[in-house]
Structure 1
Amino acid sequence: MDARRIKALSEYGEKAVQDRLTVPEILYEDNHLLVVIKPAGVLSQADVTGDPDILSMLKADIKERYSKPGNVYLGLLHRLDRPVRGVMIFAKTGKSASRISAQIRERCVEKKYRAVVCGTVLPVEGELCSAMVKDRERNRSDVYSLESAPETSKEAILRYETLGNCFYTNGSGERIEVSLLSIDLITGRSHQIRAQLSDFGHPILGDRKYHDSSGFRGDICLESYSIRLRHPITNETMEFNIPMPNGTPWSLFKKGSINGRE
């Protein structure tokens, strides 16, 4: 097995084969857009591992459903990290891709994320503004203060709001205090939310790459749950949302234990 693939599987955890190869759930589709839910553990686009990626899966699905000859055009407009589940938008025409990409550059596309992080986050809401540098050799991003940022860095901004706090009991029986955050991603740097929250002292549960030491053994507790944009042709405002996942630790916040205890 390729060394890069072994590293990926050890880092993210092996997903069930059927889950990885099932065509993602479609939230919306017309002649211009395709909106789907990317499963955790699936790449946004192909890489050297050769593992399943959502772009190739969707192209194959469109080709089969519509009996299209030749190559299928599908524009990748943004990415989600491999371990992250969430809403993704694809363009079905070049015109749509160009117009939505312009919205993204102008920061007119609103993307919201949910995360369960270690500890109690104070202040309960705020903005994180720092500088980031992508380390391609290690496949991670490093965070710097704006004052000490190297010239190659890029500004990274997000806003967060604490939705609740509770205790989670890990596999070793330790009780870990965790917080549920809603995050508005203002810029879209590689691994931005993961790296900034870790630097803030609140790594995301399950994110071993960015120093989660809670003992949580499941998938990273981060998902893209909402996207709002203008339709590239009609200019209609569109918003797509997905519910919070089932399973621990998400279920702790569904049971009314927010701001309480197990």
Structure 2
Amino acid sequence: MFRPEDILYEDNHLLVVNKHCGDLVQPDPSGESALEDQIKAFLKVRDAKPGAVFLGVVHRIDRPVSGAVLFAKSSKALTRLNEMLREGRIRKIYWALTEQTPSPEEGALRHFIVRDARNNRSRAYDMPKPEGKEARLCYRTLGRGTHYTLVEVELQTGRHHQIRAQLAKIGCPIRGDLKYGARRSNPDGGISLHSRSVAFEHPVRREELVVTAPVPAGDNLWRYFEELQATD
């Protein structure tokens, strides 16, 4: 559930929230409460808005994933941010805890993603498929622990379950991600994939913004890796 302290950045035009794993970004057929509606309800009360609250979802992250999600608070901002997203001008960085260390430890991945809507999963192929969509990302290994590796990923395309499918394809399933080959589930039912930061030009003021999301609270492994990066 959304809490006011989850707001990482806000002005008159946009808002960035640190999503908890398990939260929906937008309503789906399940009918469960979603961040979009929760934030609208919060803004309506906090700002004493008499009418409907405008809030546009600029990008989504999967339900079991945590981290930074960008919303637009005005139609002007939404139009411009959507254009920036299409043109690849919003930089999205993710952190993943993987069961193996990638080899090589830094590089780029290019696959062709085929989505299986019935099972809500995707498969990454090395060669083009008639129904496949090209998926590209860059990655680098940031740190290694006893059982898991911290991998930073920068998305270059936005495909269904892209990071999960591509890392699994190279033998590095994400901690807790049973759907893509992880050994065991996480206690909270989520997966150890975190939208670490979003960077973009402000759609109105034209200044560069970088918003970073702290890793999930209460997860000692995440805290270990975050503290390790802070000391480097």
Work out which of the residue numbers 138, 141, 145 in structure 2 matches 1:166: 145
For the residues of structure 1 that align with 2:13 and 2:186, how far apart are their CA atoms? Answer: 40
Number of aligned residue pairs = 227
1:87-166 aligned within 5 A: 87-145=68-126, 147=127, 149-166=128-145
Aligned counterpart for 2:60 among listed residues 63, 74, 79: 79
CA offsets per residue over residues 28-85 of structure 1, 9 Å max, x none? 2111111111111100100111222111111111111112223211111100100111
Measured at CA, do residues 109 and 256 of structure 1 come closer, stay the same or move farther in structure 2, by a change above 3 Å? closer
The answer to whether 1:28 aligns with 2:6 is no
Aligned to 1:174: none
Unaligned segments of structure 1, at least 5 residues:
1-19, 168-176, 258-262
Residues 184 and 24 of structure 1: CA distance in aligned 2, closer, same or farther (over 3 Å): same
SS of the equivalent of 1:71 reads coil
Counterpart mapping for 1:201-216 below 5 A:
201-214=171-184, 216=186
Change in CA separation of 1:227 and 1:215 when aligned onto 2, cut-off 3 Å: closer
Whether the aligned pair in 2 keeps the contact of 1:21 and 1:52 (CA below 8 Å) is: no
Q: Per-residue deviation at 1:164?
A: 1.2
CA separation of 1:93/1:254 partners in 2, compared to 1, >3 Å: closer, same or farther? closer
Correspondence 1:250 to 2:217: no
What SS does structure 1 have at the residue aligned with 2:148? strand
Instruction: Give the residue type in structure 1 aligned to 2:141.
Output: T
Match of 1:37 in 2: 18
Q: Residue by residue, what CA displacement relative to the aligned partner does 1:205-248 show, whole Å, maximum 9, x if unpaired?
A: 00111110156544311100110001111111111012334523
Structure 1 residue 24: deviation in Å? 6.1
Under a length normalisation based on structure 2, what TM-score does the superposition of the two structures give?
0.91
- Partners of 1:254 and 1:93 lie apart in 2 by 34
- How big is each residue's C-alpha offset from its partner over 1:144-185, in whole Å with a ceiling of 9 and x where there is no partner? 11x2x2222111111111011121xxxxxxxxx321111111
Cα deviation, residue 198, structure 1:
0.7
Q: Contact conserved, 1:24 with 1:38, CA < 8 A, in 2?
A: no
Contact in 1 for aligned 2:177/2:185 (Cα 8 Å): no
Kept after mapping to 2: 8 A contact 1:24/1:54: no
Counterpart CA distance in 2 for 1:238 and 1:130 is 30
8 Å Cα contact 2:67/2:214 also seen in 1: no
Give the Cα–Cα distance (whole angstroms) in 2 for the partners of residues 32 and 53 of structure 1: 21
Q: Give aligned-pair identity as a percent.
A: 41
Give the superposition deviation at 1:201: 0.5
Secondary structure of the residue that 1:67 maps to in structure 2?
coil
CA-based RMSD of the aligned residues comes to 1.8
Match of 1:171 in 2: none
Calculate the TM-score normalised by the size of structure 1.
0.81
Q: Which has the larger radius of gyration?
A: 1
Cα offset, 1:252, TM superposition: 3.8
Equivalent residue of 1:240, what SS?
strand
SS in structure 2 at match of 1:253: helix
